[in-house]
């Protein structure tokens, strides 16, 4: 592993997604300094994407008027199943990756130590350390975006289990005969409450003649539909959109109750782009439904909170990972 | 805490249930020596039940031609929410108990150290230590009987979480609009796959005119229906009973997949009276459905096994608890 310079006082967190790469520079005390963003271009293959990640890290460092020599290490959250020890992305569907030596290749390009984790575990780590100041011993983080993922902090540490896949909460079945999921099953939480699930419901209904202000806003094909548009539609009194968002929030509440029953966490943090855009519309329903469905006594004193880190959870967690590993 | 005699070479495990108390004597190397069984008589109140537990322990020891002085300690698994540290049963619906100092009172009666745990956690501990020889670092135990409960071994230790309620898997919702559960919600695993759920379905169908060999065997009121009768009915070719048992096994498979997705255990052990009676009829369906529903990769190498300990899981786990705490 490359050795960082003794003068290095910064860490970089990277959030590698299917559509974009985010890099953030943080001081060693985890104060945010600056960032950079780039599209992933996954279709160009792993080698090109890793070059883009290196580029994005360099841009972020340059943006902060710093030099790579001042960086101690880089922590990166990648989607899919990830082996932190070997530094490999075993499988990532939305990148089309299989057995990619991300750590090794990125270290070669940056000449810096790189540490790898699953994206949702890294986000959970970021929220735990920075937003909650490391206090809860047992915590669950769930992130609602294009898909739904999660991470577990148990006994103060990220818990990944036997196959390193613990926290794969999006494919928890909540409705055995529910809608089809991309994983092949039916009624997974992701098929009921993710952004993709909401958009699918909107598009299907519109195709079947449903009236909504969304088509006034975006045209009939709804090609540029975003989470924020759902919020705007609800604000304009669109009952159809409101109902769809409410149902997704209810299912999320049931999923949170299931997680409380199984794991008895002290805190459940709900993050991700969808909740970021629709916090006011979703959170109270999520909390109420979760409390209704948690087994009596199991949710006593348990906090169910929206993350304030939003899109920055990933880069923050990456920075936490890099700091912890280079201490 | 009372001090055991220095000559003490045995431990006793107790399984406290809503209808019966089981006590088992084990050597310090966890070899089973003998047992005793008694009805709980919960309606007589906590004081009387604790006297009966003491009585049952004494009977088991006497049955083995031993004396209480030869016992190092007693480990007991109690239903409901239990605080192992204070030794109190906080709440147990099927006993009608609230804040009962079980450890303290039983120690007074037996003049022996007593250690308390939740019944399903204690069963899981028993299976882990004796049946699996303590090998899997991460394991989930689920027990299907009148209700459904579970226990978690994470990083080699029983995990109870913030409210000490972790493993309350029976109230995981699998079908949001499913049948009503005793907890007030709908579609909990317990409302779909427990013995009570199966019996309820049988009784309702019979009331609505369903033909089944069960009524030939037991009369129209089916008052003495037991899990074993379902097995006998299936053996006699009763398709109605077979279908009900298959559905319960399928839901159990989905629940097991959910637990694999969330926790990534190395082993899932399925025990309890219902599975003990219907292992051949249920296990292959449970395993197949779990593998179908687990997220690709998350069940790789994961063992899904029926416990061979049957009704002895509780007393075995109690003995493990007593041995560990008196070492």
What percentage of chain B reaches a pLDDT higher than 70? Answer: 98
Please tell me the predicted confidence (pLDDT) of residue B183: 87
pLDDT of residue B81: 85
Q: Is the pLDDT of residue A5 over 60?
A: no
Q: How many CB pairs under 8 A join A and B?
A: 147
A227 to each of A236, A305, B294, how far by Cα in Å?
Answer: 15, 20, 29
- Please, which residues bridge with residue A150 across strands? A142
Whether B285 and B317 share a structural domain: no
Identify the pLDDT of residue A296. Answer: 85
Residues of chain A in contact with residue B173, where contact means CB-CB under 8 angstroms, are 174, 254, 257-258, 293
CB contact under 8 A, A173 and B257: yes
Is there a single domain that holds both residue A17 and residue A85? yes
Asked if A254 lies within 8 A of B165 by C-beta distance, the reply is no
Contact A218, A224 (CB under 8 A): yes
Give me the CATH number covering residue B163: 3.30.420.40
**Residue B208 and residue B105 share a domain:** no
Calculate mean pLDDT across residues B111-118: 97
Work out the percent of chain A whose per-residue pLDDT is above 90: 90
Q: Tell me the pLDDT band of A288, cut-offs 50, 70 and 90.
A: very high
| B197 in contact with A, Cβ within 8 Å | no
| In a shared domain, residues A181 and A229 | yes
| B261 in any annotated domain | yes
The answer to whether residue B5 is domain-embedded is no
Residue B317 lies in a domain: yes
* In-domain check, residue B103: yes
Q: Is residue B27 part of a domain?
A: yes
Nearest partner of A155 among A266, A259, A294, A299, judged by Cα: A266
Residue B5 has what pLDDT? 55
CB < 8 Å from B in window 65-124 of A: 81, 90-91
Cβ neighbours for B186, distance < 8 A, ≥ 6 positions apart: B173, B175, B176, B177, B178, B179, B180
pLDDT of B199: 96
Q: Which positions 38-57 of A are in contact with B (Cβ < 8 Å)? A: none
Which of the four pLDDT bands, split at 50, 70 and 90, describes residue B91? confident
Q: Which residue does chain B place closest to A257, by CA atoms?
A: B172
Q: Is B297's pLDDT higher than 80?
A: yes
CA distance B313 to A240: 52
Confidence band (pLDDT; 50, 70, 90) for A8? confident
Residue A81's pLDDT band (cuts 50, 70, 90): confident
**Do B264 and A162 lie within an 8 Å CB cutoff?**
yes
Classify residue B254 by burial, with Cβ atoms within 10 Å: 0-12, 13-18, 19+: buried
Please give the average per-residue pLDDT across A61-87, as a whole number.
Answer: 95
B267 shares a domain with B235: yes
The reply to whether B99 and B160 lie within a common domain is no
**pLDDT on residue B65:** 97
The HSE-up count of residue B69 (CA atoms within 13 Å, CB side) is 3
Asked if residue A31 is part of any domain, the answer here is yes
Residue B134 confidence class, pLDDT cut points 50, 70, 90: confident
More confident residue, A7 or A278: A278
Pairing of strands A20-27, A10-16: antiparallel
| ipTM of this predicted structure | 0.93
Residues of chain B contacting residue A132, judged by C-beta atoms under 8 Å apart: none
B21: enclosing H helix or E strand: strand B20-27
pLDDT, tens only, B159-171: 999 999 999 999 9
**pLDDT of A202-233, one tens digit each?**
999 999 999 999 999 999 999 999 999 999 99
Please give the average per-residue pLDDT across A157-184, as a whole number: 94
Give this prediction's pTM.
Answer: 0.94
Number of domains in chain B: 2
pLDDT at B2 over 80: no
Q: Using the 8-state DSSP alphabet, how is residue B27 labeled? A: E
A182: nearest CA in chain B? B295
One domain for residues A58 and A154: no
Same-domain pairing of A269 and A248? yes
Task: Name, in order, each residue with C-beta under 8 angstroms of A58's C-beta and a sequence gap of 6 or more.
Answer: A68, A110
Average pLDDT rounded to a whole number, residues B84-105: 93
For residue B114, give how far its alpha carbon lies from the nearest alpha carbon of chain A (Å). 25
E strands of B44-166, at which residues?
71-78, 81-83, 88-92, 97-100, 114-118, 139-144, 148-154, 157-158
User: In sequence order, what are the residues at sequence separation of 6 or more whose Cβ sits closer than 8 angstroms to the Cβ of residue B255?
Assistant: B142, B169, B172, B174, B189, B193
Instruction: Say if residue A114 is in the same domain as residue A142.
Output: no
Q: Does B263 touch chain A (CB under 8 A)?
A: yes
Residues A42 and A77 in one domain: yes
Give the number of other CB atoms < 10 A from CB of residue B80. 21
pLDDT at B296 over 90: no
> Are B181 and B205 part of one and the same domain?
yes
Query: Could you tell me whether strands B10-16 and B71-78 are parallel, antiparallel, or unpaired per DSSP bridges?
Result: parallel
> Which residues on chain B are in Cβ contact (under 8 Å) with A295?
165, 168, 171, 183
d(CA A126, nearest CA chain B) in Å: 20
Residues from chain B that touch A81, judged by Cβ atoms under 8 A, are: 297
Residue A155 at interface with chain B, using a CB cutoff of 8 Å: yes
Per residue in A98-122, pLDDT tens? 999 999 999 999 999 999 999 999 9
> What is the pLDDT of chain A when averaged over all its residues?
95
Residues in chain B closer than 8 A to A259 (CB atoms) = 262
The answer to whether residue B4 sits within a structural domain is no
Domain that holds residue B179: 135-309
pLDDT at residue number A6: 57
CB proximity under 8 Å: A 198-237 to B: none
- Mutation target for A interface from B137, B163, B192: give the one with most A CBs within 10 A: B163
A4 part of a folded domain = no
Please check whether residues B15 and B89 belong to one and the same domain: yes
């Amino acid at each position: 592993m490359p050795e960082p310079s003794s003068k290095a006082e910064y860490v970089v967190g990277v959030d590698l997604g299917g559509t974009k790469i985010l890099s953030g520079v943080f001081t060693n005390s985890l104060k945010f300094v600056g960032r950079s963003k780039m599209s992933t271009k996954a279709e160009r293959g792993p080698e090109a994407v890793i070059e883009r990640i290196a580029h994005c890290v360099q841009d972020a460092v340059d943006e902060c008027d710093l030099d790579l020599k001042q960086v101690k290490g880089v922590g990166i959250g990648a989607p899919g199943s990830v082996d932190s020890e070997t530094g490999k992305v075993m499988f990532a569907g939305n990148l089309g990756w299989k057995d990619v030596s991300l750590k090794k290749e990125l270290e070669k390009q940056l000449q810096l130590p790189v540490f790898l984790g699953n994206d949702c575990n890294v986000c959970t780590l970021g929220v735990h350390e920075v937003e909650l100041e490391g206090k809860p011993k047992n915590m669950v983080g769930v992130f609602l975006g294009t898909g739904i993922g999660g991470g577990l902090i148990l006994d103060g540490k990220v818990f990944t289990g036997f196959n390193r896949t613990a926290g794969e909460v999006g494919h928890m079945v909540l409705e055995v005969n529910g809608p089809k999921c991309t994983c092949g099953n039916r009624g997974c939480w992701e098929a009921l409450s993710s952004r993709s699930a909401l958009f699918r419901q909107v598009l299907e209904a519109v195709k079947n003649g449903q009236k909504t202000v969304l088509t006034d806003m975006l045209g009939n094909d709804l090609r540029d539909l975003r989470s924020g548009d759902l919020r705007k539609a609800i604000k304009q009194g669109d009952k159809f959109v409101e109902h769809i968002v409410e149902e997704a929030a209810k299912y999320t509440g049931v999923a949170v109750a299931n997680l409380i029953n199984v794991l008895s966490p002290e805190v459940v943090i709900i993050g991700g782009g969808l909740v970021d855009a629709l916090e006011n519309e979703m959170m109270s329903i999520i909390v109420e439904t979760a409390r209704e469905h948690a087994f009596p006594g199991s949710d006593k004193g348990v906090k169910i909170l929206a993350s304030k880190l939003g899109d920055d959870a990933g880069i923050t967690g990456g920075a936490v990972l890099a700091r912890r590993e280079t201490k």
